[in-house]
Amino acid sequence: MDNTGLEHLPAFITSLAIGLLIGMERERNPAAKAGLRTFAVVALLGTLLGMLSTAMDAPWLVAAGLVLVGILIVAAYVNAPTPEGDPGTTTEAALIVCYCLGVAVWFGYGTLAIIIGVVTTVLLYFKPELSGISKGMKRSDLLSILQFAVLSFVILPILPNRDFGPYNALNPHHIWLMVVLISGVSLAGYVALRFFGQRWGTPLLGIFGGLVSSTATTLVYARHGRESGEFMPLTVLVILLANLVLMVRLAILGAIMAPEVLPRLLPMLGAGLSFGMVVTAYWWRKLAAGAALPAPEIKNPTEIRAALTFGALYAVVLFMTVMLSDYFGSRGLYAVALASGLTDVDSITLSSLRLLAQNKLLAQQVVTAVGLAVIANIVFKIGLVLFVGGAGLAWRCASGMVAVAAGIGLALWLF
């Protein structure tokens, strides 16, 4: 097909498929002034003008085509106004995107154009669901997203990416990157807790709460368990689930920060998760049907003050880990793990993974430090439940928490 022009046929077929996909969705909308054929033609027009602009060395043709599409859209809506209350801007924007995707296909971005076309169709199709989520957002939810954007796209880029201080242990850019990572994981759980926790049932409150903060979830539901005895089985289940999710959270952090440690880290976390799931399953079977707990009011995980606090804690733990490991070897690392794990497991996990990436720690040392931090954290949470929720709730929760600690301890001993 060379030298006949047909060698370019795959590009036009790709554009046609993108236009038909988006147009098929718009065809279902009675208010839309453009449907299957219009979107297909616009996508083909983009590819055609892309080809001609290359052949004629006239890039202005692509811009002229975009202006032409805009004029046609305006003319269509002037001659046939949309129904009252529907300005039709979504279809207009989709037509412009479709034209641009056709151009992108010609210039060799076919795979990316297909992905964007599919995403565009999904956004158009799920308009009711997306609108419902948007309307259901509280001011605090939007504030969480905006604060995460500030943490990620305003503060992170301006921090220097080089090592400072004794042992060259402190890198401002990397420290804040860890803040962004933890805030992102926590924000995902926070949003899920807001939108789906109460709707999908009490057990998911524990799962989503564990993604935000297993310690905060334990504290919140320990109060519920003390205030009402009828909530006791549910409270136990939520607390245990939140602490099981901690194992998953740490595995995610390990996969992101240092995938090479996973063959050693996953058996330990998996053992803790498996042992804990056995006891959790027992409490699940005892769960009273029809009971429900309210969604907990957990503090915004992306708040600037919370981010600064975690960043400072992470920097301190990182420095102490390097210093004590230099003076006392692995014993110094494990002492820091036990101390920091009492209140926060993420900081010692991230600092250990960071030092592993710098070849300052061995993989087994990292795994042992994380395991000790989790065990220390479990001890702290049992004491927290005892103090806040009382002895009855504490021994019930302790059964699952001790099972997790036993699984981790056994894995550390065997491996």
Domain positions in the chain are: 6-132, 137-414
Note the pLDDT of residue 298: 61
Map tokens 């301890």 to a residue: 409
More confident residue, 234 or 271: 271
What is d(CA 14, CA 33) in angstroms, rounded to the nearest whole number? Answer: 24
What is d(CA 154, CA 84) in angstroms, rounded to the nearest whole number? Answer: 40
Question: How does pLDDT run across 240-295, given as a tens digit for each residue?
Answer: 998 999 999 999 999 988 899 999 999 999 999 999 999 998 888 876 544 555 55
CA atoms within 13 A on the CB side of 247: 26
Instruction: Annotate 203-225 with b (16+ C-beta within 10 A) or e (fewer).
Output: bbbbbbbbbbbbbbbbbbbbebb
Alpha helices, H only, 29-138: 36-55, 60-79, 89-106, 110-125, 127-136
Task: List, in sequence order, every residue forming a beta bridge with 196; answer none if it has no partner.
Answer: none
Map tokens 């807001």 to a residue: 194
More confident residue, 403 or 389: 403
What is d(CA 334, CA 345) in angstroms, rounded to the nearest whole number? Answer: 13
More confident residue, 167 or 230: 167
Average pLDDT over residues 87-116: 86
Note the pLDDT of residue 85: 43
Cα radius of gyration (the chain)? 28
Note the pLDDT of residue 138: 74
Amino acid identity at 344: D
Please tell me what DSSP assigns to residue 230. Answer: G
CA distances for 72 relative to 25, 65, 77, 83, 98, angstroms: 20, 11, 9, 19, 14
CA proximity to 210, closest of 235, 234, 230, 193: 193
In this predicted structure, the answer to whether residue 132 has a pLDDT above a threshold of 80 is no
Q: Which contiguous run of DSSP H or E holds residue 330?
A: helix 330-341
Note the pLDDT of residue 290: 46
- 3-state SS class at 291: coil
In this predicted structure, the answer to whether residue 403 has a pLDDT above a threshold of 60 is yes
Question: How does pLDDT run across 303-330, given as a tens digit for each residue?
Answer: 777 788 888 888 888 888 888 887 888 8
Note the pLDDT of residue 84: 47
Size (the chain), residues:
415
The token pair that represents 250 in the structure block: 């740490």
In this predicted structure, the answer to whether residue 107 has a pLDDT above a threshold of 50 is yes
Average pLDDT over residues 27-42: 79
Task: List, in sequence order, every residue forming a beta bridge with 170; answer none if it has no partner.
Answer: 164
Question: How does pLDDT run across 161-194, given as a tens digit for each residue?
Answer: 888 877 777 889 988 988 888 888 777 777 766 6
Note the pLDDT of residue 31: 66
Model confidence at 373, pLDDT cuts 50, 70, 90, reads very high
Please tell me what DSSP assigns to residue 58. Answer: -
In this predicted structure, the answer to whether residue 375 has a pLDDT above a threshold of 80 is yes
Share of the chain above pLDDT 70, in %: 84
Average pLDDT over residues 209-217: 80
